[in-house]
Amino acid sequence: MHRHSSRIELSEAALKNNLDFIRSNIGGDTIISSVVKANAYGHGIHDFVPLAEECGIRHFAVASSYEAEEVVEARTTDADVMIMGILYPEDLPWVIKHEIEYFVYDFHRLERSVDIAKQVGKKARIHLELETGGNRTGLEPEKLDQTIAFIKKNLDYLELEGVCTHYAGIESLSNQFRIQQQEQLFEQMYERITDAGIEPNLRHTACSAGALAFPETVMDMVRVGTAQYGLWPSPDIYNLHLMQEKDNAEHTLEQVLSWKTNIMHLKDVAEGQYIGYGTAFQASRDMRVAVIPIGYGNGYARSLSNNGEVLIHGQKTPIVGSVNMNVFMVDVTDLDGVNIRDKVVLIGQQNGESISIKSFTEGNYAINNEFISRLPAAIPRKVVS
């Protein structure tokens, strides 16, 4: 048993709460596709996928065929898997054989899909992603007629599982003009598809922010990452929630992930001495510091040097000096009875105090996802009730 320097816990109760919360916003009939790209936003695909299935999820979305394979390995039900991102043509035979759904946003991928479906002897399960103004991926309006004609001709080899688009920053209220234009263009393009006599199984456009705050974007399915993990997509969406729920503080999202380690070492430092590398921190009094076995190499942010906090004995203790590759130091001078191996909470709760992911990234919620999605896959994950 060689132990890792830290561990991540996933709260089943928090995930259940978040899915109920999302459900209460979108209504009963809409499918929730659980977005588990980037190793389930750092939560760990192998532990998160079965947990989400326990909570009723039967559809997962990923960003590559590598991630699709991880979900196929991890799932415990017949849950569907959908690739929203890159798909190398070499992987198409595997993808079609395993009945994995995927986005199609150019004509070339559509033609290849039919070729491979014929070879494999199964239908390719495609979601036509439409360009509505995000200018990332998506099939342009001027290519729609050609695409519709091709799909109609090849319905023996193609299952049109969905028609979809992705909004360019719907979590920010200042983008709403652009989002409305995207919504309108999506409706127009969708009508052109159905007018041509093709009926897709599902329409889907909403990510977390759409699902939580913009009912007109909630269709047959929503693709939810951020919110299921208990994070707010942006201050705007959190503020809309507060305005609606001011009398019901219990009805909110809960963070699924906690991150814990133990004190590695304790050190007494005399006034005037520097702590750690360089002159980042000079002891202003006789101090006692705890060495924490975590650094930027473990996904902790170096920008928390002289800035972040951890919980020890339920108390917030500040980081002193810089965050190194594999250690940083915290000030425990005012804490009594601190010992080597005492528990340290990097993210999460202890005795009623809490350190949220948001507290690392105050003022820029987009960074929440950046921070958690980079947590190394090597850190062991454990589900707790």
- Report in angstroms how near the CB of residue 51 gets to ligand PLP at its nearest: 17
190-193: long-range contacts, CB 8 A cutoff, minimum separation 24: 190/130, 190/163, 192/144, 192/145, 192/148, 193/128, 193/144, 193/148, 193/163
Give, for 112, the enclosing helix (H) or strand (E): helix 107-120
Between residues 103 and 300, which has the closer beta carbon with respect to ligand PLP? 103
CB of 37 to ligand PLP, least distance (A): 6
- Would you say 35 or 292 has its CB closer to ligand PLP? 35
CB of 365 to ligand PLP, least distance (A): 10
The residues annotated with a catalytic role in the active site are 37, 277
Q: Is 133 in the site for ligand PLP (CB under 6 A)?
A: no
Site for ligand PLP in 37-56 (CB under 6 A): 37
CB of 132 to ligand PLP, least distance (A): 12
Q: Is 8 in the site for ligand PLP (CB under 6 A)?
A: no
5 vs 175 by CB, closer to ligand PLP: 175
Residues in the chain: 385
208 binding ligand PLP? (CB under 6 A): yes
Query: Is 289 near ligand PLP (CB under 6 A)?
Result: no
Nearer to ligand PLP, 216 or 286 (CB): 216
Give the residue with the Cβ less far from ligand PLP, 224 or 320: 224
Q: Residue 224 CB, nearest distance to ligand PLP (Å)? A: 5
Nearest residue (CB) to ligand PLP, 134 versus 318: 134
Token representation of residue 9: 């816990």
Contacts of 61 (CB under 8 A, 6+ apart): 33, 34, 35, 36, 37, 81, 82, 83, 84, 223, 225
- Cβ count near 326 (within 10 Å): 15
Q: Single out the residue of 281, 262, 260 nearest to residue 271, CA to CA.
A: 281
Find tokens 């004609």 and name the residue: 149
From the list 49-57, 219-227, 325-333, 356-364, the region that binds ligand PLP by CB under 6 A is 219-227
Sole binder of ligand PLP in the list 59, 125, 166, 203 (CB under 6 A)? 166
75 vs 223, beta carbon nearer ligand PLP:
223
Residues 69-128 that bind ligand PLP (CB under 6 A): 84
- The tokens describing 125, both together, are 């399960």
With contact defined as beta carbons under 8 Å apart, do 137 and 83 qualify? no
Q: Does 225 participate in binding ligand PLP (rule CB under 6 A)? A: yes
Binding of ligand PLP at residue 207 (CB under 6 A)? Answer: yes
User: Which residue is nearest to ligand PLP, using beta carbons?
Assistant: 225
The number of residues that bind ligand PLP (CB under 6 A) is 11
147 belongs to the binding site for ligand PLP (CB under 6 A): no
Q: How far apart are CA 366 and CA 151, in angstroms?
A: 37
Q: Where are the beta strands (DSSP E) in the chain?
A: 7-11, 31-35, 59-62, 80-83, 101-104, 124-129, 158-164, 202-206, 221-224, 257-262, 265-269, 287-292, 309-312, 315-320, 328-331, 343-350, 353-355, 381-384
| 99 DSSP assignment | T
Single out the segment in contact with ligand PLP by CB under 6 A; choices: 16-24, 224-232, 302-310, 322-330. Answer: 224-232
Interface with ligand PLP (CB under 6 A): 35, 37, 84, 166, 207-208, 223-226, 233
